[in-house]
Structure 1
Amino acid sequence: MIIMIRFGTIGTSKIVNDFIEASLKSNQLKVTCCYSRDKTKARNLINKFSIYAVATDKFDILIDEADAIYIASPNGLHYEQAKYFLSQQKHVLLEKPLTLDFKQAEELFEIAIKNGVVLMEAYKTIHLPQFKHLLDFTNSYQPFMINLNLNKVTSRIKNLKNRIIDNIFDYELGRGSTYDLLIYPVELSVALFGKVESVKAFGQKLENKSGLTDCVIIKHQSGVISNITCSKVTNGIIENEILSDGLTMTFKDLINLKSISIHKHNDPNINELNYEVLENNLVYEMLVFTKMIETNDYALRDYLMNISLEALKTLNIIEKEQNQ
């Protein structure tokens, strides 16, 4: 028997639009309530997708209308909002990063355990079908290094040049590239190679200490080294690669994992791997989240949360290294 899970959403950004669009393809969840500080924006979102849902600017309405909450507010608001809903015994799908502070994220996890609910970070990459190709390569060929590049000009670049600080570059709400973008390669590295042993990091920042660019080297306890470059003020074109003895795996777009290929050393032939992915790939993380709720799969919850916590702890170390 399929359980229909009622979802409330917080925020009206593009990612929330994508979430609602993905929900329409699911027979396991239904968006029943949309929250925004500006109630009109919530109503406009509901009308855009022609869904039957309540528009609200009050959290207690979300409590009444939903079994689970998707939180896509600015990073600096994640902790208080997630804590409130977890304490009300609501499942929470929380946009990345979980919080800006490891201790706060750890506390959220403890509250989820205490209340017997699911908390999951909305980090979609490891839920994509093609992630298995990266994991299989890692398990089969014991790579010793990974090079990851995520350099993408922010849509707020014009405001930034005019010294207008949007939420993402506000130190209390976003902290720039270090938490908004670097989370992707760091979490991918942790998911593939495990716990972090040591970190070396440099960065370029705004006067308020929010990140613009990040250069990071991570040594994992497994011995693998992750070499990462990340920026929100320039566009990069270099691919990503996982290097082992005899074989190298390359892929584009480390968020969505595209064009995955295996190159054998001293062989000009390229083995491009095949896979099919839904156009709106948020569907995969939503399926994992709803299945955990339906089956009470707390072991999977804990496994995924430990990856998210290790990644966030590493981001905190990176920020400290850069500030020194």
Structure 2
Amino acid sequence: MIKFGTIGTSMISEEFISVAKQNQNVKVVSCYSRSKEKAKEFIKANELKARAFDNFQEMANEIDAVYIASPNGLHFEQAMYFLQQQKHVFLEKPLTLDVKQAQQLYEVAMKNKVILMEAFKLIHAPQYNFLDDFVKKYSPFAATFSTNKYSSRMPDVKKGIFNSVFDEKLGKGSTYDMLVYPVELAISLFGPVKEVKSMSSQLSNGVNFVDAVLMKHESNVITNIMCSKSSNGLVGSEILSDEGTISFQEVLRLNKINLYDIEEKKNYNLFDDDKEDMMKYELDVFAKMVLEDDLQLSDYLLKISCETVRVLNIVEQNSL
């Protein structure tokens, strides 16, 4: 049984607790908030038998692993603390806001022989295998990923109110909160990136809310990405080869996956939608890695996460 502590009291933390209750290998035993009273309220609201903490050191003594769902800009400091205490870390995306910090976390995790995993749900979902199989069989040359999701925080942004997601230091806007999904998906499918071209639009505080990105992978696949947090996109995504095309809706869920075979001139429906909470799959993988001490899989996943942060850094630099 893996004894978990949580950091963060947002909806994503509630989602984690919900799937953790369904996992026989996991038990949430403590919750952290800067306000202990808020942590107690969170525990009560989620019907947990857990202790409330407002101190990392005290919580570290009670747990085997920690789930971190704090604002993006706090990921590095918090993850580093628990890795140094030789605790396993399940960290919400993005891994960090800086590739050098991501590498530092990677090195400390490997040195201390503990599992560090970014909570990037797409690669662990069963439907991801349809895309992976297509890439292996059809050898694609290009992909177009569309990720446009209207943020519930946009009305505040229009009033000049920038909460954590759109904060310059804590969230850094669409680039690190939304673009991370298609970039990481592309890297997991096509491999490391050797060239990045991008343009972005900024809010008045300087953070991006629209990103247009063109990446060329070391495999020579070219990925085109359109991403924003200011509108709901209606166009899906596709991966192209000279033998077939695979298309899907919603990069955030990988649903409605279809294959068009050029030789047969036929469309095949491969997958509609998965009603399961996708966090279930990533928590299953994390728990399995911890229980089996699978540092090899951890290494593989961390390299994808670090490469993703490197590309996001380039996109951010291009927008300055």
Q: 2:242 aligns with which of 229, 241, 245?
A: 245
Distance 1:97 1:196, change over 3 A: same
Q: Secondary structure at the match of 1:51?
A: coil
Tell me if the contact between 1:181 and 1:230 (Cα under 8 Å) persists in the aligned partners.
yes
Unaligned runs of 5+ in 1: none
Does 1:301 pair with 2:298? Answer: yes
**How far apart in 2 are the matches of 1:56 and 1:278?**
34
Tell me if the contact between 1:129 and 1:275 (Cα under 8 Å) persists in the aligned partners.
no
Distance 1:274 1:239, change over 3 A: closer
Does 1:186 pair with 2:183? Answer: yes
**How far apart in 2 are the matches of 1:44 and 1:286?**
24
Counterpart for residue 17 of structure 1: 14
Q: Which deviations, in whole Å up to 9, do the C-alpha atoms of 1:175-203 show, x marking residues without a partner?
A: 00011000000000000000101000000
Amino acid at match of 2:48: I
Tell me if the contact between 2:255 and 2:273 (Cα under 8 Å) persists in the aligned partners.
no
Counterpart for residue 269 of structure 2: 272
**How far apart in 2 are the matches of 1:146 and 1:274?**
19
Q: Secondary structure at the match of 1:273?
A: strand
Counterpart for residue 123 of structure 1: 120
Tell me if the contact between 2:239 and 2:245 (Cα under 8 Å) persists in the aligned partners.
yes
Q: 1:140 aligns with which of 137, 141, 152?
A: 137
Q: Which deviations, in whole Å up to 9, do the C-alpha atoms of 1:89-118 show, x marking residues without a partner?
A: 000011111110000010011111111100
Counterpart for residue 35 of structure 1: 32
Q: Secondary structure at the match of 1:320?
A: helix
Q: Secondary structure at the match of 2:97?
A: coil
Q: Secondary structure at the match of 2:61?
A: helix
Q: State the TM-score, normalizing by the size of structure 1.
A: 0.96
Counterpart for residue 97 of structure 1: 94
The structural deviation recorded for 1:208 is 2.5
Q: Which deviations, in whole Å up to 9, do the C-alpha atoms of 1:50-99 show, x marking residues without a partner?
A: 11101111112220221000000001111110110000000001111111
The structural deviation recorded for 1:295 is 0.6
- Higher mean C-alpha displacement, 39-48 vs 109-118: 39-48
Superposition RMSD on alpha carbons, in Å?
1.3
**How far apart in 2 are the matches of 1:124 and 1:237?**
22
Counterpart for residue 152 of structure 2: 155
**How far apart in 2 are the matches of 1:6 and 1:173?**
28
Q: Which deviations, in whole Å up to 9, do the C-alpha atoms of 1:266-315 show, x marking residues without a partner?
A: 86642111477452121110011011111111000000000001111011
- Higher mean C-alpha displacement, 293-302 vs 44-53: 44-53
**How far apart in 2 are the matches of 1:154 and 1:276?**
22
Q: Secondary structure at the match of 1:110?
A: helix
Q: Secondary structure at the match of 1:260?
A: strand
The 4+ residue runs of structure 1 with deviation greater than 6 A are none
Amino acid at match of 1:109: Y
Tell me if the contact between 1:31 and 1:53 (Cα under 8 Å) persists in the aligned partners.
yes
Unaligned runs of 5+ in 2: none
The number of aligned residues is 320
Does 1:208 pair with 2:185? Answer: no
Counterpart for residue 258 of structure 1: 255
Q: Secondary structure at the match of 1:238?
A: coil
| Identity fraction in percent | 48
Q: State the TM-score, normalizing by the size of structure 2.
A: 0.97
